[in-house]
Amino acid sequence: MQIVKLACELPDRVDRSLSLWTCAELARTMKRDLIVETISPQTVQRILAACKLKPWRVHHWMSPKVVRDAAFRSCVENICDLYTRPLGPHERVLSLDEKTSIQPRPRTNPTRPAMPDAVPVRLEHEYKRIGALNLLAAFDTRTGEVIGVCRRRKRMIEFIELLEEIDRRTPDSITAIHLVCDNVITHKGKLVRAWLARHARFHMHHTPVHCSWMNQIEQWFSILQRKRVGVADFASLADLEAKIGTFIAEWNEVAHPFEWTHSSFDKVLASVHDDIPAAALAA
């Protein structure tokens, strides 16, 4: 049908300046192009529903830049092993990353608490911009403990500050500290490599490109976002830093690890076979 054919085109390709179709815009375009004399959005909705077609929905995806070959499999299996195997008494596994551009956004009027009779928390719409902080943090995959530092910038220098804090807070009896982080230059540049060379118990493990879901600290960042910084109303950068520090301390009082198993990686590993050359499989 013409309506289905039109819905399966991007609006820009049929001379409509729209990001996505709605039933009303599809009906309007059908009439503009004289495909039908008249049609209602409700009729369009029924036709699309019959075809299970929803052109107003968006699913984000990314063309893979890294082939899912034997090297990719080896990297994923290494991360899986770090997360799931029993650790020796001399080992520790930490997941590291940065939560960037956390803004204080102080409000022009005080935030008001919830009240009876279904009155929600009331947050003033107007706020001031007074800069932002970056939280550099590490998540212990076996205990759930979080170590974090807030800084105005997120260069290798600041990343090394986090490494030094981890070093201070890890007993000497731990002789192997495994760090899981992504591939940005902040985590593997010249200064970081020099620091790691001087601290033999640290071992860096990088996740594959575009596989941030393998970094457990991202799960904890989502908790921080939901429970502490999602509603931004902090008096200053210093206030924001202090309250993030308090949140981390309170989290550590009841810290718990996230449950990761081999099955957490099964889906991505199952997709490897199609891209591994026959020669690699034979090896």
**H-only helix segments in 111-235:** 156-168, 190-198, 217-224
Instruction: Please say if the pLDDT value at position 279 is more than 70.
Output: no
pLDDT at 26: 96
Band (pLDDT 50/70/90 cuts) for residue 283 is: very low
Positive/negative CA dihedral, 181, 187, 193, 196: negative
Map out the domains of the chain with their CATH numbers: 2-50 (no CATH), 70-267 (3.30.420.10)
Residue partners of 134: CB distance under 8 A and separation at least 6: 98, 99, 100, 101, 102, 150, 151, 152, 153, 154, 158
Q: Select from 90, 66, 68, 67 the least CA-distant residue to 77.
A: 68
- Quick: pLDDT tens for 187-237: 999 999 999 999 999 999 999 888 888 999 999 999 999 999 999 999 999
Q: Which whole-number Å values give the CA distances from 180 to 97, 103, 137, 194, in the listed order? A: 9, 27, 12, 18
Residue partners of 38: CB distance under 8 A and separation at least 6: 31
Q: Select from 146, 31, 173 the least CA-distant residue to 91.
A: 173
- Quick: pLDDT tens for 92-144: 999 999 999 999 999 999 999 999 999 999 999 999 999 999 999 999 999 99
pLDDT at 272: 75
